[in-house]
Amino acid sequence: MKIITVEACYAVVGLYLFVLAGRIAAERDHPRRWGSALFWTLLGVTFIGAKVLAPIIIGYFVVAMVVLAAMGQVTRGASHETSRQERVGHAERLRNRIFWPALLIPATAVVGTLILGELHHGDVWLVEPKQVTLIALSLGAMLALIVAMRTTGANVGAASREGSRLLQTLGWSLILPQMLAALGGIFAKAGVGEVVAGLVAQAVPTGVPWVAVLAYCGGMALFTMVMGNAFAAFAVITGGIGLPFIVKLHGGNPAIMAAIGMLSGYCGTLLTPMAANFNLVPAMLLELDDKHAVIKAQVPLALVIFAANVILMMVLVYRF
Amino acid sequence: MIKLIGVALIAAGFALRVNTLLVVLAAGLATGFAAGFSLNEIMAMIGKYFSDNRAMTLPIVLMLPVVGLLERYGLKERAEVLIRRSKAATAGRVILLYTAVRQISISLGVSIGGHAGAVRPLVAPMAEAAARGSGGELSSASVVQIRAHAAAGENIGNFFGEDIFIAVGAILLMKGFFEAQGMNVSVWAMALWGIPTAFIAFAAMWWRCRLLDRRIERAAAVETNPGGAQ
């Protein structure tokens, strides 16, 4: 038995989304009051109901959210941001105390990861050991919120208002990572990877050892860009190109191939809007008008690291 | 080949700037139909994978109330005051220092930071304040550059530190893949061979951060001395 499960954390998220929807529904000057409130309600239901509702129902809820977003129904309300002067005033009053809640989140994550997963009395575990990172993060965020309210003297209403202000800045792009993960899942089920691996293996002369390395690393990066996820690319490209050519045909070292191959995939992650949680959501969080600004900053990095990976693998994989 | 229709739709939809969610849904439906699934089967897949990946959204939603509250009470403004006291601080150095902390901590198995928890409330404002120095103003292009590089530092540190720690997803996934193929590959060996790339990635970030600082300096020089080019 586990006392704190990850489902409980998802339920907290769901409840907070209901609060957000309620706030929006009560906002008379919100330009898309009912559409936005419905969107956040549906998202809350998918968070709370994932283990109870049939997947097909969640699927149709997701479609409803996509339609609401595409029809321009999910927008932010009138913003009531505080003035800079007011914030400077608070900063002078609170001084470094304002940092403590922010630093409490990583501190809880460290302590949580090291200790929480180990605490148990017989069969009763405090937290789900497999999900300890996520649970520690959730507990850290809630603890930090309580400390932040004490430090600043703000009440629950203010915290919920600030949270909903930021969530509405993100808007529908908040669910983009999950949508893209779902697309990646469908790609995998449909066998898109096998087609890509087959095309690469046919198109290049993998009988030459260094060409096989280039095809494998390139395949990892390209297919990661398609899937938005290096993990999904790994099994497909390693099974289709890496194992048959680098390891079996040319006798390469599988550990070196896998380690550097996965890191080549990460270079693809840096380049693709499909990896929305790493590339697009940050651009929204940082309020950049150009959604692709983060990817643009990462292009030179990704190309340099990818080239280094290919050279490293060419030099190392057939030597050890 | 017909199964690649989803990939083509994504590329076309992103290029034409159609609503991204709609493009993704269309690509999913098209790929599913091309592979012979029924509508209900595709809906069930979308529902299942959407639920399975709730962990991607959870940290953002839970982090935003506390981040929003702290911002309202002057977190960014305080970070700016502190960073201005340090003469050595530049935007590039702030971002590089954060990248190092992120990369080292995650290589030891501790995941701290993140775009919502650290980059937006702390790293980006500190880097901007460092670039402003004593009272100068930044062009909006420089602000975009600094913020984008702060996000890039988070990603570089996260991605290229993670694979050195043996108990994380990537290494365990690779181990599982080889086991399914009947091969026994050591997790230690895979973690070890991730180290050279970790150093190269950090060196690349150092290079980008230096370049960022130079660009900001140049932009500031043009601003304070607009007639200088003549």
Q: What is the 3-state secondary structure (H, E, C) of chain B?
A: CHHHHHHHHHHHHHHHCCCHHHHHHHHHHHHHHHCCCCHHHHHHHHHHHHHHCHHHCHHHHHHHHHHHHHHHCCHHHHHHHHHHHCCCCCHHHHHHHHHHHHHHHHHCCCCCCCHHHHHHHHHHHHHHHHHHCCCCCCCHHHHHHHHHHHHHHHHHHHHHHHCCCCCCHHHHHHHHHHHHCCCCCCHHHHHHCCHHHHHHHHHHHHHHHHHHHHHHHHHHHHHHCHHHHC
Q: What is the mean pLDDT of residues A298-307?
A: 97
Q: In this predicted structure, what is the pLDDT of residue B29?
A: 95
Measured between beta carbons, the chain B residues lying within 8 angstroms of A273 are: 14, 20
Tell me if B77 and A309 make a contact (CB, 8 A cut-off).
no
How do residues A14-45 score in pLDDT, each as one tens digit? 999 999 999 999 988 888 899 999 999 999 99
Determine the distance in angstroms separating the CA of A29 from the nearest CA of chain B, rounded to an integer: 22
User: What is the rounded distance in angstroms from the CA atom of residue B32 to the CA atom of residue B41?
Assistant: 9
User: Above 70 in pLDDT, residue B135?
Assistant: no
Q: In the structure, what pLDDT confidence band is assigned to residue B167 with cuts at 50, 70 and 90?
A: low
Hey, of B4, B33, B40, B46, which one would you mutate to test binding to chain A, going by the most A CBs within 10 A of its CB?
B46
What pairs with residue A2 in β-bridges? Answer: A125
Looking at chain B, the whole-number percentage of residues with pLDDT higher than 70 is 94
The answer to whether the beta carbons of residues B150 and B93 sit under 8 Å apart is no
CA-nearest residue to A244 within chain B is: B181
CA distance A214 to A317: 12
Side-by-side strand order, sheet with A2-4? A2-4, A124-127, A120-121
pLDDT at B230: 44
Find the mean pLDDT for residues A133-160: 90
| Residue A85 pLDDT | 87
Name the band, by pLDDT with cuts 50, 70 and 90, for residue A256: very high
Q: How confident is the model over B121-126, as a mean pLDDT?
A: 91
DSSP A286: T
Taking only Cα atoms into account, the Rg of chain B, rounded to an integer number of angstroms, comes to 22
**Where do the structural domains in chain B lie, given as residue ranges?**
2-52, 57-229
pLDDT at A210: 93
At A317, is the pLDDT very low, low, confident or very high (cuts 50, 70, 90)?
very high
ipTM of the complex in this document? 0.88
What dihedral angle (degrees, nearest 10) is formed by the CA atoms of A23, B24, A238, B158?
-30
Q: What is the dihedral of CA A32, A35, A37, A40, to 10 degrees?
A: -120
Q: Which of B1, B44, B74 sits opposite A90 (nearest CB)?
A: B74
Mutant choice from A12, A66, A74 vs B, greatest count of B C-beta within 10 A: A66
Decide: A230 and A262 in contact? Cβ < 8 Å: yes
